[in-house]
Amino acid sequence: EDQVTQSPEALRLQEGESSSLNCSYTVSGLRGLFWYRQDPGKGPEFLFTLYSAGEEKEKERLKATLTKKESFLHITAPKPEDSATYLCAVQAGAGNQFYFGTGTSLTVIP
Amino acid sequence: EPEVTQTPSHQVTQMGQEVILRCVPISNHLYFYWYRQILGQKVEFLVSFYNNEISEKSEIFDDQFSVERPDGSNFTLKIRSTKLEDSAMYFCASSPGLRWGQPQHFGDGTRLSIL
């Protein structure tokens, strides 16, 4: 069975304290790995797509990387406005559906 | 920037009633999806829709559920004979086209509360 696991479940950082979120996956035929940000009461907001091992994408303070078994979302010098739940999703096999992880709830304290 | 819009934002319904959740996908997108998120749990796939027919559905999407694209802009999810366990956030999403690996763009969801 395809699995997507995110860790940690929750993370509290001081403003400026860099860290990484992990998404590990066991799927057959990865088509893409996606990172989303979800604010309370809102839908997932697309951040990045990664397609193959070794690929990296950056956007402001966020950098996503991909290996054959996991992806990391690195947050450099976070600010309070980066507080949100970060979701990882994979698309695999013949279908178009996304398989989501349970997310990491990030809180950045001023 | 184009976005997916969903209405209503919150729907309260008595158990056993039927509900219709509405979505307007991004206008040039071809694939449409419904997902749900029970409070505190992961986002789960329900169904995908392409070229006016269901292309995939999960085990959750049984005979209680149906989808429709009644006109050129709306995409609806109908839930019949609602149960308490149908209470969840329901998200609509759309993606541009046929190539795998394209991101899905989500609306802000409808919170469905079954009493």
Confirm or reject contact between A22 and chain B (CB < 8 A): no
The pLDDT score that the predictor gives to residue A93 is 77
The pLDDT score that the predictor gives to residue A1 is 59
Residue with tokens 């999403």: B93
Size of interface A-B (CB pairs under 8 A): 63
pLDDT in tens, A88-100: 999 887 777 889 9
Indicate yes or no: CB of A49 within 8 angstroms of CB of B45: no
Residues with Cβ < 8 Å from B25, sequence gap 6 or more? Answer: B4, B32, B73, B75, B92, B93, B94
Average pLDDT over residues B42-52: 93
pLDDT in tens, A36-93: 999 998 999 999 999 999 999 999 999 999 998 999 999 999 999 999 999 999 988 7
CA distances from A6 to A38, A72, A89, B10 (A): 14, 10, 10, 29
Name the closest residue on chain B to residue A89, using Cα atoms. Answer: B43
Find the radius of gyration of the CA atoms of chain B: 13
Top residue of B47, B59, B104 to mutate, by most chain A CBs within 10 Å, is: B104
Identify the band that residue B99 occupies on the pLDDT scale cut at 50, 70 and 90: low
The pLDDT score that the predictor gives to residue A28 is 81
Indicate yes or no: CB of B56 within 8 angstroms of CB of A87: no
Indicate yes or no: CB of A49 within 8 angstroms of CB of B31: no
